[in-house]
Structure 1
């Protein structure tokens, strides 16, 4: 266990004991339990040691009547997976597993999670394989109408509306806040979302302050539309169905102006009407042009860095970590992200990785241990996809200047 983690655990336990005025005794984290009071600490079984395999633990949190639960993860280290299918922590409103607030795994630490009542359920599930140190979190009670610096967000279900960061536009948003908005339209309608102004602490990977937008009603990396920061507003967004979930998070350091966003509901575009075929006596001798199957096409990238940038869903520079699998996928270690799109990026400390699927085996050829520029599209599971004509080339330092220029250019 790292020295930093040891210090964190000690500080959290001392804070919890001090607030509860308990005697100075060694705290042991067990598999689940009932937690009551104004505040407290919970952690995975055996934390900070490695959590056991094949377990399911549930913690029921209850704060005084008339208040809501605020849960803050201070450390999380679970088996990493794009869809959190193996080891994960679920957080629910109330004491049943009905309305889920979010599912988390890997080392992604969410901001504060707020229940809609005085009860919250936390469940951790582990499978038989890879494990980590688990998690530690603190809960506290808050007034439900306390909508100031710490408790912003909410449910938006009017046909037209807007939302903004705390303090907008008078001053910068505060440090250490999380705001979550759930926009819900009637069935068979979709949501158009536009940011009028946008200024969130800039970082190449949006690690510190950011806005994350998801299709659906919860945080789910498989349905993440994008993660945004900096001073350029995201392009207008249209939901897949009738729900969007937006999370804004700021860390404990630098802040900025923030943002204001507007949304509206609109009907889904109807499919074009199919007209009955018109009978005609005209004949033609032109035969259809034969199509070449995808994986029999020439294995040759088309265009240039510049011409491919805007049409690509993601643009990264990376080092290939694994050989091509039977399913045609490789794992890459990311050097830099120039365009993230909906690519699912896993972060552990300062290192980031992603899965890339080569649709046609060995076309383009991607070798383990080499550095590449990869431009491509993304599938429904957040994996990058490259085709025979995708722009993939060996990465050299001299390419950085052009990529940086393209990143700062609006498509």
Structure 2
């Protein structure tokens, strides 16, 4: 087996300009700084078995104005569905903050592209099962180069689009990993829509998929949704000024792919009078205003029709979590239907949509977990629904559906 891998190593290295005699074996150490237009990196001791309990870091730097393209030629690490034990992480830049992907087992991803001239590769192994490790080639490329194997990058213009490799002439290739990092100015959010969408279908999106994350890194805690099949996801709005879109295809079936569009839009800023310079005075004034507001008699006024146009958003949904804090209730609502979105930040996982709601006065209007409501209200600068005693909230019943559908087409 070691003779076979030694031969394989030479075959992998020779096409990439590695100097030396044909029988000379490249020696790989644990980590290092790699610079230049192209180069090779591999796990410690490759093609032999990598050592246990190791942590190796490679910092890659290509010339200014270029981006790094990393292509794995061979990978054999301990296999685990979540890559919890032995794995290779690839990051944008030279810090382990903006991760492009994590890999293990024998799955060889497609070309990985950084959004700058720097990339960090880190391999970690535990004390148990090991394999022969990995070998990869890096090269410098022009930003936004659109050859078949390249995709991803940083998007920071006010609006734009992105698509899978080969779009729209042919199916996307197998074994591709793409990450688009969209960055808006502070105090703006990102609206994302997919024009066309066709990614290999699977009930759990295990093989080919698109994952969308709040922020600039792949973090399951910040994942908005994971999508596959031929139905475009509903429009997505970021919580803050960054979104990361990751596309991954395995080494089997492929499909048409997708094209997505994004645009920046301002957060809804609350209308307030100029505050006094002294912070304590502002806080006291705000507390008095809130207390006075919450001491008013709780009584719903008007009708669905009369409150529709004056509300920033109108939704129906089920209250799934509630937390009381500081006299207010912070709730999460699982959305049934959206009739008026405004600047409300809507999160989506699969077909399930949800939103965050602040009921400013916890006694008014009263909302209870597990019940369905029609909620009308305002939106704060973070995209969270803000419900005041004067806003219109009522229990949602099927008979309300017809009127709400009529109001949806109403011009305000």
Provide TM-score, normalisation by structure 1: 0.55
Q: Is the 8 A contact 1:226 1:341 kept in 2?
A: no
Which residue matches 1:196? 195
The residue aligned with 1:136 is 134
2:114–2:153 contact (8 Å) kept in structure 1: no
- 8 Å Cα contact 2:193/2:262 also seen in 1: yes
Q: C-alpha separation between the residues in 1 aligned to 2:56 and 2:140?
A: 25
Closer, same or farther in 2 for the Cα pair 1:213/1:134, shift >3 Å?
A: farther
The separation in 2 between residues aligned to 1:204 and 1:231, in whole angstroms, is 12
Q: Distance in 2 between matches of 1:160 and 1:37?
A: 33
Partners of 1:251 and 1:79 in 2: CA distance: 15
Distance 1:233 1:106, change over 3 A: same
Note if contact 2:70-2:139 (Cα within 8 Å) is conserved in structure 1: no
The match for 2:215 is 216
Who is 1:187 aligned against?
Answer: 186
- Residue in 2 aligned with 1:17? 14
**CA deviation profile, 1:116-154 (whole Å, cap 9, x unmatched):** 455433233446x45533741312324314323222333
Aligned twin of 1:113: 112
Distance in 2 between residues matched to 1:126 and 1:252, nearest whole Å: 25
Contact kept? 1:67, 1:143, Cα under 8 Å:
yes
Q: Is the 8 A contact 2:100 2:179 kept in 1?
A: no
Q: Distance in 2 between matches of 1:155 and 1:235?
A: 23
Offset at residue 208 of structure 1 (A): 4.1
Given the superposition, is the C-alpha separation of residues 122 and 172 from structure 1 closer, same or farther in structure 2, using an over 3 Å criterion?
Answer: closer
CA distance in 2, matches of 1:134, 1:237: 41
Aligned pairs for 1:156-167 within 5 A? 156-167=155-166
Report the equivalent of 1:233: 232
Q: CA deviation at 1:78?
A: 5.2
Structure 2 CA distance for aligned equivalents of residues 80 and 341 of structure 1: 28
Question: In 1, distance between residues paired with 2:335 and 2:3?
Answer: 46
Q: CA deviation at 1:79?
A: 7.8
Counterpart contact for 2:49–2:132, Cα < 8 Å: yes
Q: Hey, what does 2:77 align to over in structure 1?
A: 77
Q: Tell me if the contact between 2:196 and 2:258 (Cα under 8 Å) persists in the aligned partners.
A: yes
Residue 181 (structure 1) shift: 1.2
**TM-fit CA distance, 1:155:** 2.1
- Whether the 8 Å CA contact 2:52–2:130 is kept in 1: the answer is no
Q: State the distance in 2 between where 1:206 and 1:9 align.
A: 37
Corresponding residue SS for 2:152: strand
Q: For residues 43 and 117 of structure 1, do their structure 2 counterparts lie closer, same or farther at Cα, with a shift above 3 Å needed?
A: same
- Equivalents in 1 of 2:296, 2:250: separation in Å? 67
Deviations 1:305-333 (A, max 9, x none): xxxx998xxxxxxxxxxxxxxxxxxxxxx
Distance 2:351 2:110 in 1: 21
1:26-78 Cα offsets, whole Å, 9 max, x none, are 44432123445654442322445554344332223355676532112342535
Deviations 1:149-190 (A, max 9, x none): 222333222343332223433443344544321111233433
SS in 1 for 2:151: strand
CA RMSD in angstroms comes to 4.3
CA gap 1:132/1:102 in 2 versus in 1, 3 angstroms: farther
Native 8 Å contact 2:110 2:149 kept in 1: no
Deviation at 1:234, TM superposition (A): 1.8
Q: Which digits, 9 at most, give the CA deviation of each residue in 1:276-306, with x for residues without a partner?
A: 23466x9xxxxxxxxxxx9xxxxxxxxxxxx
Q: Deviations over 1:85-122 (max 9, x none)?
A: x755443445x427644352554754422234554332
Q: Give the structure 2 partner of residue 377 of structure 1.
A: none
Report the alpha carbon displacement of residue 198 of structure 1 after superposing the two structures with TM.
0.6
> 2: distance between equivalents of 1:159 and 1:117?
20
Tell me, in whole angstroms, the C-alpha distance in 1 between the residues paired with 2:181 and 2:50: 33
CA displacement 1:367-408 (0-9 Å, x = unmatched): xxxxxxxxxxxxxxxxxxxxxxxxxxxxxxxxxxxxxxxxxx
Specify the structure having the higher radius of gyration (Cα).
2
Distance 1:253 1:279 in 2: 63
Which residue in 1 is equivalent to 2:339?
none
The equivalent residue for 1:277 is 294
Distance 1:77 1:223 in 2: 27
- Long gaps (5+) in structure 2: 272-288, 300-321, 323-333, 337-349, 354-412
